[in-house]
Structure 1
């Protein structure tokens, strides 16, 4: 029997669905999974079983088609269910979300967090669809200059929700060490020959860049590398560090991780958490608010370069 297993990203590619949808399948128990460190994995046999069920085969015939041994280790979700636990899916790509997940797992009885590394806009849409439970977002609205709330109000019309601040942090240019091209403002993106490395659509850095291009009358097609996308901030910094790009949009903490990258602050970015208010989640929302305001959690955030926790735990909007 093959011992092959897949990551969430690989499952998403194989099934041609989003990573959040994969996490939702795991959350519902439709896709058997287990955890290796911080990563969720799905065995090939369990993926085959899921596909056969979706094609209409009886679940009772699973053993016949998957060659599943009786002594297989129980899945992460199965263990949680057996112990009377429920899981919540938390989205976001920042290390602060990993810290939050650890505190939830440690301090909230009967609760296990699952992490989905999804961008801000896709996270909000997934929350609207009921595919996740807590989302982090840092989206600048170009028309109002306000973070997050304009997007949230437009997406969750008629819904009952809670928006709580996670942190604030500086955002700006990632440039080569010493800033040899002397890049200090958004208008510098008009310079001919400047090579950009971009993020994928829907993430906060991409939304910020597009808003600033619009405000400064800069056409994206005139930017070299605008279509060159990286799926994470480290990828952007690595392109700048290697000299493959002159500039990227990112955060101070990312620059601090690279020897050959400097940071130019342009804006203070606000990261908020969004949760839908429903009868079944009121208890864990209150526990989450307690964690956000605890000194243990705040102390861990404060060691991240550039992180401002002055509003962490503050309710920004409640409906």
Structure 2
């Protein structure tokens, strides 16, 4: 490979046939060097070649041998922090973390459920969640308590925001509720499994006794809010589920149906004590809150508050 060639994280994951979270973990551990072009991380082809050759020459894969304590300490001192989630507010958080601490923020754009599982597996440091539980009417905690069993953790509120339906300008089909999705002339565009929007939809279908097979387009998926909103904007679908901000960015109408709490979760470990303190300070700072307020469409009344904490 030419030394002038570089790859995106997604391209590297495809070349190595592993998930992007695996690549982020290798970056976090300092095993794969990257550089930034704006907000995007890229990797030199030469560095990728070197990594592959090192793995081939090793007597057994590094992943098969537990890292000695001294090496784990070195990895912790690399000061890379992986933040998982898709909202632009997380980019602002990452920027503030880099400004006021030795940490460097890396971004993973996985959905809520996959992010929480990655936190459990040690592949992320900060995850954002907006997962609705239909049995309790509560956001996030029912899932966190089940998945992070056996771990100590803290849940901090980031923002609250409106979730609902993306519809065409003027809402020509007069869609106003979850039950409208089952109308035979309505075509929807869905989010991927594990995303907060998909969980919200599936829970509302369950609550209202609606079968997913009755909804045209339920099996058609996009992987982020903007993509779903864009599909509606182009007329390829009549409706999608997402957040208000994306609808305004794309220029379509939005039908609010629920206020969702968007929280952060961090594991409480000795290594994370400093990171937790820094995140708390940032969330409560006037600088951060002013920047979020300037974006519009976010409720900051609970920003920085401790929603739940284990001891």
Please indicate, yes or no, whether the TM-score normalized by the shorter chain is above 0.5.
Answer: yes
Structure 1 runs not aligned, ≥5 long: 59-80
- Compute the TM-score of the two structures, normalised by the length of structure 2: 0.91
Aligned: 1:307 with 2:298: yes
- Compute the TM-score of the two structures, normalised by the length of structure 1: 0.89
Instruction: Report what 1:237 is aligned to.
Output: 229
Instruction: Report what 1:48 is aligned to.
Output: 49
Say whether the 8 Å CA contact 1:256–1:305 is kept in structure 2: no
Matches of 2:283 and 2:238, distance apart in 1: 37
Shift of 1:284: 2.0
Shift of 1:27: 0.4
Instruction: Report what 1:149 is aligned to.
Output: 141
Matches of 1:198 and 1:220, distance apart in 2: 11
Query: Residue 279 of structure 2 is aligned with which of 288, 291, 297?
Result: 288
Instruction: Report what 1:97 is aligned to.
Output: 90
Matches of 1:224 and 1:303, distance apart in 2: 38
Aligned pair count reads 293
Shift of 1:154: 0.5
Say whether the 8 Å CA contact 2:182–2:210 is kept in structure 1: yes
Matches of 1:233 and 1:13, distance apart in 2: 23
Match runs of 1:182-261 below 5 Å: 182-259=174-251, 261=252
Shift of 1:159: 0.8
Structure 2 runs not aligned, ≥5 long: 60-73
Instruction: Report what 2:68 is aligned to.
Output: none
Shift of 1:9: 1.4
Say whether the 8 Å CA contact 2:28–2:78 is kept in structure 1: no
Instruction: Report what 1:61 is aligned to.
Output: none
Match runs of 1:56-67 below 5 Å: 56-57=57-58
Q: Which consecutive aligned stretches of 4+ in structure 1 deviate over 4 angstroms post-superposition?
A: none
Instruction: Report what 1:4 is aligned to.
Output: 5
Say whether the 8 Å CA contact 1:198–1:227 is kept in structure 2: yes
Secondary structure at 2:273 match in 1: helix
Shift of 1:53: 2.2
Matches of 1:226 and 1:98, distance apart in 2: 30
Say whether the 8 Å CA contact 2:112–2:131 is kept in structure 1: yes
Query: Residue 107 of structure 2 is aligned with which of 115, 123, 129?
Result: 115
Secondary structure at 1:257 match in 2: helix
Say whether the 8 Å CA contact 2:3–2:44 is kept in structure 1: no
Provide Cα deviations, 1:46-79, integer angstroms capped at 9, x if missing partner: 2222222222348xxxxxxxxxxxxxxxxxxxxx
Matches of 1:136 and 1:300, distance apart in 2: 18
Matches of 1:281 and 1:57, distance apart in 2: 32
